[in-house]
């Protein structure tokens, strides 16, 4: 993360804002716990191919005779211990959770990154150029935000069909507007400050003004929104997959794993749904704790 | 607060009253889905048919094993190759008390082609019929367009309406919308209509004018519950008395539960794998240049040998499937005895055959499957893909929502796909003609033959069988045709889905092979 | 933005035009998308049907025409309030939705009531003593409540109450009583038992939000002069709370609850799927999966209108209550 290189009048000259940020962040134990949780979940998810006991996508390695075993069972042939049991396909639930987390994080991360890029571009352009462009873009944003995210995503997926790429597209469509509105709001304030007006008088290129002056000031709210949106994206993807319109069954995310296990839950085979569910909840809560605290310290209104 | 309390008390009292009235002989059935319409001639679909047959009788009714039995027609005979005479029961009355006459039957057949917007029209069962006439008040004469041995099984799907009740100003008489409101629902069946709340309960009550043995139930309630686990929970808690399709995962538990009983019928729905045999190349097999390995019979045999059908039936299907090597179960017309048992899995031999055919390292293939159309469909496909992969054919599963799957299948985008076929006639001819007959959609041949297997010899045999009125000769022709396809591995049977019901203890159900849930066949042990 | 939009009638007309624009864009999307993605007749037609029968069905459903002709036909009929018939059941699509509406509305009303009854007191509590451990617990709980996916909460409730304790049913609607043409669950005990888990699932997330809004509003109102004045006058704390505080935090709470009502109707899609609740959200999911286009389109058009009108009503009410808000409300 780069330090904002601005001459923003609010910047504290004595202490780097980043250091102050770190100190403030560490003060909140809950947020630290969330951060640690995030890291603890992200590392194994990213490293899943190397640390998972089994590759759940390598279907040749699955032995149907090992299906629906309770946690702690030992495989007949290979002798692996299924610490969290197996599902109906004889997939090791622990491995499936690790890979599923990977899929969920991938979808969330990609969709948030792209939405952030699109959203901030739109927001900055709207704020800088104003006029009819601003009116048009913000009208679109407002209309979109007045519809529930789940509905927009459902429409997109019913139109696009299933697939990992399609879920990502649907999530981008849902999320970009939040970024656009936030960035525009912040940038609008900055745009009217003297230093920007001065820069414009010097007829510096608009690209330069946006990149050097407007964007850095929009970073704090962007970081907050991106963090919280990461959690929202994970939750929304899981919901869509649970409803059967998200990722394909052969590429299970956490939501899909939970959906697959739902049927078995009422017959007492709780582990197929329960463990992916716990992983999902921990990921979302962890990210939200961090995001919530970030909002508190990065929001200038709360800073005093 | 007080208001809430009174209200709660009132509703509790209300419930108590409800509970008292329910203690009479009521049957609550948790069904997979509600009918798409109450019009008995709107949609050929299991949820519709099973409700219809509780209120209406056909001329000839299939028994639970799909053998035709007299219903409204006490007897019938073919007076020539194309003319049949059905004598109606003289004691049959409609639920409004009026007697059944041949005019009602003629009206019923007349209305079928006039019902608009039908998703699957009942003309499916009348396309061989040239005319239907009343010979006298209690005799119906049906003339077919050509010699047609399956007439009796076809008309077993046609419930007889009351001309008086189902007439109306529209060309078809009472419209589908009117039927859905409960109008014109006057039949000769054991139950009659009371009310229907869409998405919730459909209620019937005993028909006092029924000509047969009076039904055991005062009231029957069909409650749609799509989620199998939810149906199971409702049965366990006593909310319902009977459920369709208990989740395969719960079946073991249900069988040992002293509060429940389970009824299984012989399955007729065959789950199979179709293989692309149209020509070369095949869309789902990359890396083989222009070659389609599936054109080689040895490869097809290897793919069949690699499947452990017993393990699938037991583990994936929870025992509600019968592993098989045939397309129709044994007592039915045209099934081959020697093919009934599932071929044993033999991965070593499969590998050897692949090597012999020139694929010592196997090849890659995509196996298509619908997700949510058949029992555990995607799971079965994933397991088969795993088994193929173990035999060296690296398989990947492409699972899609059913309408998407069928579109891809009809566009021939799959090299291999899993699907199922429900036989409602009890005869091999319909199965073979649809699944492996040379694809000629205008003739109704090969309509589900997405692998485009084509064998002129087989087509000739089927044509010959369909014009053969003698049962024994026809049976032999069909067995020969069946054997021909299976020894060519033109299609790979996997298992029969076994229709299952779970009931509370003390109830028993004459489980039907056609998967219909008929309340008149549910009996109480007392 | 522009001055003339601030006049109320223009602003209403503008909103309605927007709604129509959204409906046009969305219906084109759904039409073309569902057309490309699959063949709805494949689910309907018997596999034994001949090609002629298939064609006849396509013709009967109007699917034999080009997608644009189909769309224009739809538009022409939609203007007269006819959204076509469901491919699957042959029933008018709008009627199918309207039949399912009471179940959804009942669920959402119960859930929203729960969320306000639980959310407002907890939110005030957290706002009055922001530093107390109980307040921190409430706020952390509310983070969980609105960040955890709805279906996950439902799943856990099923696991606890239906599987582990076995005291509440996990699905369906239970006994209903007809009040006129509308079937209601809330009049029977069995209905309440079935309603409990889905309503709780939907209500918990909304309660979390109400808590946050109430807390924020409370903290904003507390330092105000009239509260200080009331305290100085020696009024009992309960009276300050009931009269001065509640009255002033009511506006944001009502606004948010109103907006959330719309969200909850949409989110009922998820809750209804988890609990097989026979509402219109469940119908939407089933229709999306079976590509029953008329039902999907009719549902979406209805939702757009409903949400636009809801937003409009809230804005107008807001302006009526608080004249200074007129400057803030944008069209």
Of B8, B227, B434, the CB nearest to C171: B227
Contact residues on chain B for A88, CB-CB shorter than 8 A = 249, 316, 376, 379
The CA distances from residue A254 to A111, A279, B439, C152, in Å, are 16, 8, 42, 11
Q: Which residues contact B366 (CB under 8 A, 6 or more apart)?
A: B284, B285, B395, B396, B397, B398, B414, B415, B416
Give the integer Cα–Cα distance in Å for C251 and C219. 14
Q: Is the dihedral of CA B159, B164, B170, B176 positive or negative?
A: negative
Q: What is the pLDDT of residue A11?
A: 43
Query: What is the H or E stretch that residue B78 is in?
Result: strand B73-78
β-bridge partners, C272: none
Per-position pLDDT tens, chain C of length 331: 444 445 567 778 888 888 888 888 888 888 888 888 777 777 677 666 777 777 778 887 888 888 888 899 888 888 888 888 888 777 789 988 988 899 999 999 999 999 999 999 999 999 888 888 998 889 888 888 888 898 999 988 988 888 788 788 877 777 777 777 777 888 888 889 889 999 999 999 899 999 999 998 888 888 877 777 777 787 777 777 777 788 888 888 888 888 889 888 988 889 998 888 888 988 898 888 888 889 999 998 888 888 888 888 888 877 776 665 555 544 3
Contact residues on chain A for C163, CB-CB shorter than 8 A = 265-266, 268, 270
Across the interface, do C330 and A142 touch by the CB < 8 Å criterion? yes
Q: What is the pLDDT of residue C325?
A: 54
Nearest chain C alpha carbon to A287: C147
Q: What is the pLDDT of residue A239?
A: 92
Q: What is the pLDDT of residue A198?
A: 77
C103 and C82 share one domain: no
For residue B459, the distance in angstroms to the closest alpha carbon of chain C comes to 16
Average pLDDT over residues A144-151: 85
Nearest chain A alpha carbon to B387: A60
For residue C2, the distance in angstroms to the closest alpha carbon of chain B comes to 47
Token pair in block for residue B291? 């070659």
Interchain CB contacts (distance < 8 Å): B and C = 152
Q: Is a pLDDT exceeding 80 seen at residue A188?
A: yes
Across the interface, do C276 and B404 touch by the CB < 8 Å criterion? no
DSSP class of residue B136 equals E
Q: Is the dihedral of CA A238, A242, A246, A248 positive or negative?
A: positive
Average pLDDT over residues B218-238: 84
Q: What is the pLDDT of residue B295?
A: 94
Across the interface, do B18 and C175 touch by the CB < 8 Å criterion? yes
Of B43, B120, B230, the CB nearest to C276: B230
From B92, B498, B12, select the one nearest B262 (Cα to Cα): B498
In chain B, the percentage of residues whose pLDDT exceeds 70 is 95
Q: Is a pLDDT exceeding 70 seen at residue A4?
A: no
Across the interface, do C38 and B12 touch by the CB < 8 Å criterion? no
C166 and C309 share one domain: no
Average pLDDT over residues A228-243: 91
Q: Is a pLDDT exceeding 70 seen at residue B107?
A: yes
C108 and C216 share one domain: yes
Contact residues on chain A for B250, CB-CB shorter than 8 A = 266-267
Range among A156-165, B197-206, B307-316, C217-226 with highest mean pLDDT value: B307-316
Spell B322-340 as b/e; 16+ CB within 10 A means b. bbbbbbbbeebbbbbeebb
Could you say which of C267, C283, C299 is where a domain stops?
C283
Across the interface, do B390 and A60 touch by the CB < 8 Å criterion? yes
Q: What is the pLDDT of residue C8?
A: 61
Contact residues on chain A for C284, CB-CB shorter than 8 A = 154
Average pLDDT over residues B11-17: 42
Across the interface, do A263 and B312 touch by the CB < 8 Å criterion? no
Test the A interface: residue of B309, B321, B376, B383 with most A CBs within 10 Å: B383
Q: Is the dihedral of CA B367, B369, B375, B376 positive or negative?
A: positive
Of B119, B239, B372, the CB nearest to C169: B239
Q: What is the pLDDT of residue C104?
A: 93
The three state secondary structure string of B213-281 is CCCCCCEEEEEECCCHHHHHHHHHCCCCCEEECCCHHHHHHHHHCCCEEEEECCCCEEEEEEECCCCCC
3-state helix, strand, coil in chain A (%, to 5): 75, 0, 25
C71 neighbors C28 (Cβ within 8 angstroms): yes
Spell C231-257 as b/e; 16+ CB within 10 A means b. eeeeeeeeebeeebbbebbeebbebbb
Other CB atoms within 10 A of residue B33 CB = 15
Domain CATH for C171: 1.10.3720.10
Neighbours, chain B (3 or more CB pairs < 8 A): A, C
B407 neighbors C38 (Cβ within 8 angstroms): yes
CB contact C14 to A (< 8 Å)? no
Q: What is the pLDDT of residue B24?
A: 63
C277 and C169 share one domain: yes
Q: What is the pLDDT of residue B436?
A: 93
From A62, A65, A71, A70, select the one nearest A91 (Cα to Cα): A62
pLDDT band at B442 (very low <50, low <70, confident <90, very high): confident
Across the interface, do C100 and B198 touch by the CB < 8 Å criterion? yes
C107 and C45 share one domain: no
C310 and C180 share one domain: no
Nearest chain C alpha carbon to B449: C47
pLDDT band at A10 (very low <50, low <70, confident <90, very high): very low
Give the integer Cα–Cα distance in Å for B444 and B87. 31
C51 and C145 share one domain: no
Structural domain containing residue C66: 1-88+290-331
Tens-place pLDDT, residues B295-312: 999 999 999 999 999 999
Least confident span in A162-176, B136-150, B397-411, C174-188 = C174-188
In chain C, the percentage of residues whose pLDDT exceeds 90 is 14
Q: Is a pLDDT exceeding 80 seen at residue B56?
A: yes
C 252-281 residues inside an 8 A Cβ radius of A: 262-263, 266-267, 269-270, 273-274
Nearest chain B alpha carbon to C45: B120
The CA distances from residue A275 to A25, A84, A85, A86, B3, in Å, are 30, 7, 10, 11, 43
Test the B interface: residue of C55, C59, C63, C89 with most B CBs within 10 Å: C89
pTM for the full predicted model: 0.81
From C307, C115, C133, select the one nearest C213 (Cα to Cα): C115
Tens-place pLDDT, residues A204-224: 777 777 777 778 878 888 888
Give the integer Cα–Cα distance in Å for C311 and B308. 59
Q: What is the pLDDT of residue B138?
A: 95
C184 and C124 share one domain: yes
Q: What is the pLDDT of residue A14?
A: 54
CA atoms within 13 A on the CB side of C20: 8
C110 and C45 share one domain: no
What beta strand segments (E) does C21-99 contain? none
Complete DSSP assignment for C116-134: HHHHHHHHHHHHH-TTSHH
In chain A, the percentage of residues whose pLDDT exceeds 70 is 92
In chain B, the percentage of residues whose pLDDT exceeds 90 is 61
Across the interface, do A148 and C147 touch by the CB < 8 Å criterion? no
Across the interface, do A265 and C158 touch by the CB < 8 Å criterion? yes
Interchain CB contacts (distance < 8 Å): A and C = 116
Tens-place pLDDT, residues B230-248: 788 788 878 889 999 888 8
Nearest chain A alpha carbon to C19: A143
B115 neighbors B39 (Cβ within 8 angstroms): yes
Of B230, B308, B379, the CB nearest to A89: B379
Give the integer Cα–Cα distance in Å for C188 and C176. 7
Q: What is the pLDDT of residue A192?
A: 78
Contact residues on chain A for C144, CB-CB shorter than 8 A = 285
For residue C54, the distance in angstroms to the closest alpha carbon of chain A comes to 24
C102 and C138 share one domain: yes
Q: What is the pLDDT of residue B8?
A: 43
CB contact A267 to B (< 8 Å)? yes
The CA distances from residue C314 to C29, C311, C320, in Å, are 29, 5, 10
Average pLDDT over residues B418-441: 88
C112 and C214 share one domain: yes
C187 and C277 share one domain: yes
In which order are the strands placed within the sheet that holds B394-400?
A: B321-323, B491-497, B269-275, B416-422, B364-370, B394-400
Nearest chain B alpha carbon to A161: B404
Q: Is a pLDDT exceeding 60 seen at residue B17?
A: no
Across the interface, do B400 and A162 touch by the CB < 8 Å criterion? yes
The CA distances from residue A146 to A30, A151, B47, B377, in Å, are 32, 11, 40, 39
Neighbours, chain C (3 or more CB pairs < 8 A): A, B
- Number of domains chain C contains: 2
Its ipTM equals 0.83
């Amino acid at each position: 993360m780069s330090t904002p290189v601005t001459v923003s009048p609010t910047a504290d000259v004595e202490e780097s804002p980043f250091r102050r940020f770190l100190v403030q962040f560490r003060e909140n134990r809950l947020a630290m716990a969330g951060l640690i949780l995030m890291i603890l979940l992200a590392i194994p998810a990213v490293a899943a191919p190397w640390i998972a006991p089994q590759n759940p996508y390598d279907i040749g390695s699955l032995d149907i005779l090992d299906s629906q075993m309770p946690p702690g069972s030992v495989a007949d042939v290979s002798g692996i211990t299924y610490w969290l049991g197996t599902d109906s396909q004889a997939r090791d639930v622990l491995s499936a959770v690790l890979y599923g987390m990977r899929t969920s994080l991938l979808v969330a991360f990609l969709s948030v990154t792209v939405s952030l890029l699109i959203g901030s571009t739109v927001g900055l352009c709207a704020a800088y150029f104003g006029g009819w462009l601003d009116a048009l873009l913000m009208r679109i944003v407002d209309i979109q935000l007045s519809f529930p995210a789940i509905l927009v995503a459902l429409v997109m997926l019913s139109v696009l069909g299933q697939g990992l790429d399609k879920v990502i597209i649907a999530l981008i469509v849902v999320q970009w507007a939040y970024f656009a509105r936030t960035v525009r709001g912040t940038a609008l304030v900055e745009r009217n400050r003297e230093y920007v007006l001065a820069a414009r008088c010097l007829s510096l290129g608009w690209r330069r003004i946006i990149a050097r002056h407007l964007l850095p000031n929009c970073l704090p709210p962007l970081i907050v929104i991106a963090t919280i949106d990461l959690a929202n994206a994970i939750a929304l993807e899981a919901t869509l997959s649970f409803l059967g319109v998200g990722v394909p069954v052969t590429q299970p995310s956490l939501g899909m794993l939970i959906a697959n296990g739902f049927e078995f839950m009422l017959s007492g085979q709780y582990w197929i749904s329960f463990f992916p569910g716990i992983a999902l909840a921990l990921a979302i809560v962890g990210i939200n704790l961090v995001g919530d605290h970030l909002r508190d310290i990065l929001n200038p209104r709360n800073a005093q | 607060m007080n208001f809430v309390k009174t209200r709660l008390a009132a509703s509790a009292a209300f419930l108590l009253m409800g509970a008292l009235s329910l203690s009479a002989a009521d049957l609550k059935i948790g069904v997979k889905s509600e009918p798409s319409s109450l019009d008995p001639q709107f949609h050929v679909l299991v949820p519709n048919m099973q409700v219809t047959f509780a209120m209406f009788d056909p001329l000839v009714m299939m028994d639970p094993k799909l053998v035709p039995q007299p219903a409204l027609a006490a007897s019938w005979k073919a007076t020539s190759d194309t003319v049949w005479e059905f004598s109606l029961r003289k004691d049959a009355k409609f639920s409004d008390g009026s007697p059944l006459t041949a005019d009602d039957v003629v009206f019923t057949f007349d209305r079928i082609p006039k019902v608009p917007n039908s998703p699957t029209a009942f003309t499916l069962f009348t396309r061989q019929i040239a005319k239907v006439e009343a010979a006298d008040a209690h005799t119906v004469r049906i003339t077919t367009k050509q010699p047609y041995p399956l007439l009796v099984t076809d008309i077993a799907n046609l419930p007889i309406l009351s001309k008086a009740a189902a007439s109306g100003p529209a060309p078809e008489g009472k419209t589908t919308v009117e039927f859905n409101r409960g109008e014109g629902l006057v039949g000769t069946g054991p139950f009659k209509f009371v009310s229907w709340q869409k998405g919730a309960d459909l209620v019937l009550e005993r028909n006092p004018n029924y000509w047969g043995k009076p039904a055991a139930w005062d009231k029957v309630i069909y409650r749609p519950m799509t989620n199998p686990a939810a149906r199971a929970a409702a049965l366990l808690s006593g909310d319902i008395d009977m459920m369709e399709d208990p989740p395969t995962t719960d079946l073991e538990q249900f069988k040992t539960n002293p509060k429940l009983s389970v009824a299984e019928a012989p399955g007729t729905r065959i789950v199979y794998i179709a293989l692309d045999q149209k020509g070369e190349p095949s869309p789902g097999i990359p890396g083989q240049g222009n070659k389609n390995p599936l054109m080689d019979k040895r490869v097809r045999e290897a793919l069949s040998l690699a499947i452990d059908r017993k393990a699938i039936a037991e583990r994936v299907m929870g025992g509600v499937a019968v592993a098989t090597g045939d397309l129709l179960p044994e007592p039915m017309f045209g099934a081959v005895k020697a093919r009934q048992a599932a071929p044993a899995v033999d991965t070593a031999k499969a590998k050897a055959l692949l090597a012999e055919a020139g694929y010592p390292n196997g090849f890659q293939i995509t196996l298509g499957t619908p997700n949510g159309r058949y029992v555990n469909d995607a799971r079965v496909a994933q397991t088969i893909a795993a088994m193929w992969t173990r035999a060296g054919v690296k398989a990947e599963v492409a699972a899609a929502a059913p309408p998407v799957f069928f579109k891809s299948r009809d566009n021939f985008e799959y090299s291999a796909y899993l699907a199922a076929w429900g036989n409602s006639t009890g005869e091999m001819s319909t199965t073979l003609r649809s699944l492996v007959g040379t694809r000629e959609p205008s003739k109704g041949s090969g309509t589900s033959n997405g692998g485009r297997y084509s064998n002129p010899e087989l087509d000739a045999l089927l044509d010959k069988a369909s014009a053969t009125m003698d049962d024994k000769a026809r049976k032999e022709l069909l067995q020969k045709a069946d054997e021909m396809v299976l020894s060519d591995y033109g299609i790979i049977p996997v298992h029969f889905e076994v229709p299952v019901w779970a009931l509370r203890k003390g109830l028993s159900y004459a489980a039907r092979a056609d998967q219909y849930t008929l309340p008149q066949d549910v009996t109480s042990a007392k | 933005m522009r001055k003339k939009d601030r006049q109320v009638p223009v602003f209403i007309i503008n909103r309605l035009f927007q709604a129509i624009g959204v409906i046009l864009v969305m219906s084109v999307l759904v039409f073309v998308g569902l057309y490309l993605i699959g063949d709805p007749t494949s689910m309907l037609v018997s596999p034994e049907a001949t090609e002629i029968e298939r064609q006849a069905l396509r013709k009967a459903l109007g699917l034999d025409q080009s997608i644009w002709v189909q769309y224009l036909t739809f538009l022409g009929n939609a203007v007269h309030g006819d959204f076509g018939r469901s491919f699957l059941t042959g029933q008018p699509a709008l009627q199918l939705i309207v039949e399912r509406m009471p179940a959804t509305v009942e669920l959402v009303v119960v859930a929203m009531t729960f969320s306000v009854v639980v959310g407002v007191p907890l939110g005030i509590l957290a706002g009055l003593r922001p530093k107390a451990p109980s307040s921190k617990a409430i706020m952390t709980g509310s983070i969980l409540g609105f960040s955890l996916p709805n279906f996950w909460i439902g799943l856990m409730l099923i696991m606890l109450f239906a599987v582990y304790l076995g005291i509440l049913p996990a699905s369906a609607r239970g006994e209903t009583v007809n009040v006129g043409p509308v079937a209601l669950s809330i009049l029977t005990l069995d209905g309440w038992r079935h309603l409990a888990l889905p309503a709780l699932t939907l209500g918990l997330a909304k309660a979390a939000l109400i808590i946050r809004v109430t807390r924020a509003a409370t903290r904003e109102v507390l330092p105000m002069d009239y509260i200080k004045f009331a305290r100085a006058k020696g009024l009992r704390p309960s009276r300050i709370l009931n009269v001065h505080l509640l009255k002033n935090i009511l506006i944001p709470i009502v606004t948010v609850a109103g907006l959330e009502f719309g969200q909850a109707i949409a989110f009922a899609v998820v809750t209804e799927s988890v609990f097989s609740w026979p509402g219109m959200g469940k119908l939407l999911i089933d229709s999306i999966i079976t590509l029953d286009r008329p039902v999907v389109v009719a549902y979406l058009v209805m939702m757009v209108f409903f949400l636009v009108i809801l937003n409009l009503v809230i804005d107008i009410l807001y302006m009526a209550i608080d004249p200074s808000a007129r400057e803030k409300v944008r069209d």
